[in-house]
A and B are shown apart, each in its own frame.
Chain A
Amino acid sequence: MLTYEPGETVVHDLDPRSKLAVQIGFAATALAHTAPRALLGLSVVTAVVLALARVPLLRTLYAYRFALVILAVGPLVAAATLGPPWIDLEAGLATALASYRVLLILLVSAAYVRTTPVRESRAAIQRTIPGKPGQLLGIGVALVFRFLPVVQSDLRTIRDASAARLGTERSARERATTIGLLGLSRTFDRADRLSLALRARCFSWNPTLPALAFSRRDAPVLGIAVALLLTAFL
């Protein structure tokens, strides 16, 4: 699984907002180009980012295996044609190039995930999006992070209890209904207790924001982000 890991790399030290900007710039230019030369350039950028952030390539590819299946099947489906000559290499190649840029986008975002703790991402959200929407989004993301293991464990309990009562022998519709109903009622119970706890602690629209500051190191990175974004229009 791809998660944050503490480290000493340059990318770890950057402000999360510059890292987000680079990702957005990279994705924009990758979505705009599929020419082999452009993809070569993007591959070099990806390789540099992965090396700087010390992202293990194989483990990251494994983490994105579900997307990789579609990206691998796509060119095959595009190449297959009904009737002679049965294989259209040109269409297959076009889809293969288009799939490859998606892989690059995923790898660049993996560098962010690996080097940025959730609290910094939260701070970036709350400082970038103004007003109440930003507050709710930032706190909401922090709550998802906090409760994910709890809700996962709730779901495990429900599935184990169901399996112990031969629930796995039931029809798929019944299984989906059981997991949905029990999962939801447990989760809403938790939410109601959480809302009481939030109010007891004076949950407010204007809490002190988590600390975050651009350093001198961020300037070139922001420059690269803008440059990447501009190449999307080339």
Chain B
Amino acid sequence: MATEQNDVELVDGDVVHAFARAALLATLLGAVAPIAIPIPFSPAPITLQVLFVFLAGLLLGPLWGTVSILLYLAAGAIGLPVFAGMAGGLGVLVGDSAGYLWSYPLAACLIGLFVHRGTDLRDPAEISTALVVVALVTATVLIYGMGVGYMAWLLELELWEAITVGALWFVPGELLKIAAAVAIVESGRIDTV
């Protein structure tokens, strides 16, 4: 068996710290997939994955937040049961909900750039609520835009048909997740990297 005989190149402490958090946030994102909370006036219960996509951008920033979501997608692609309904497999990443899944890393990156203005992280509890809300609403529009757009193309649906199937029912839940994400960062109980 071939062996490598190079010097060991250690990973920097900061990188290890951020990486461990990104990996475990990706795990959390997969672990909440089966949790559904019923909400009034909507047939679709909310799932918490988008909430943790928001939190990835807010708490890990544009770089490690994106890495975290990419790890989640990679774990799902090789078959870990982390996607909705505890499914996994490369097929899901090109299937009907693929647009949503691929929008997650972009959304986390966008939120991170909006809120932290770069890779040096600021304490999100000190950032104005308005800015956080604007970032989260923009990210939600991005997620649904990509999700619905891809679904319309893949299944050869009219745009409004895709919106009916893939977005309309979920709007109340999204507002609620934005409220929850704001409450979590403003509690100040979670420190950034």
Contact = CB atoms under 8 A, between A and B. Distances in A.
Interface of A: 1-4, 20, 23-24, 27, 31, 34, 63-67, 70-71, 73-74, 77-78, 91, 94-95, 98-99, 102, 105-110, 112-114, 116, 118, 121-122, 125, 136-137, 139-141, 143-145, 147-148, 150-152, 154-155, 159, 172-173, 175-177, 179-181, 183-185, 187-188, 190-192, 194-195, 198-199, 202-206, 208-209, 211
A106 B191 CA distance: 39
B28 interface: yes
Given A70-B166, A148-B31, A184-B28, A78 B155 contact: yes
Contact of B80 (A65, A118, A205): A118
B113 interface: no
A1 B80 contact: no
B48 A180 contact: yes
Contacts of A70: 96-97, 151, 165-166
A139 to B, nearest CB: 8
A150 B26 CA distance: 13
Given A113-B79, A180-B55, A202 B184 contact: no
Contact of B13 (A74, A121, A199): A199
Contact of A102 (B35, B84, B154): B154
Contacts of B25: 184, 187-188, 191
Interface in B6-48: 6, 8-11, 13, 16-17, 19-28, 30-32, 35, 37-40, 46, 48
A176 B37 contact: yes
Given A27-B91, A136-B19, A180-B181, A67 B97 contact: yes
Grouping DSSP codes into helix (H, G, I), strand (E, B) and loop, the A interface class, with mixed when no group exceeds half, is helix
A113 B89 contact: yes
Nearest to B14: A195
B91 A141 contact: no
A196 B43 CA distance: 45
A172 B38 contact: yes
A20 B70 CA distance: 18
Contacts of B78: 113, 116, 118, 121-122, 125, 141
Contacts of B173: 172
B3 A2 contact: no
A195 B193 CA distance: 12
A64 B27 contact: no
Given A20-B90, A107-B91, A204-B10, A198 B180 contact: no
B71 A188 contact: no
7 contacts: A3-B81, A74-B96, A106-B89, A144-B75, A148-B30, A198-B20, A204-B9
Given A78-B155, A99-B155, A109-B92, A180 B184 contact: yes
A176 B48 contact: yes
A98 B154 contact: yes
B22 A140 contact: yes
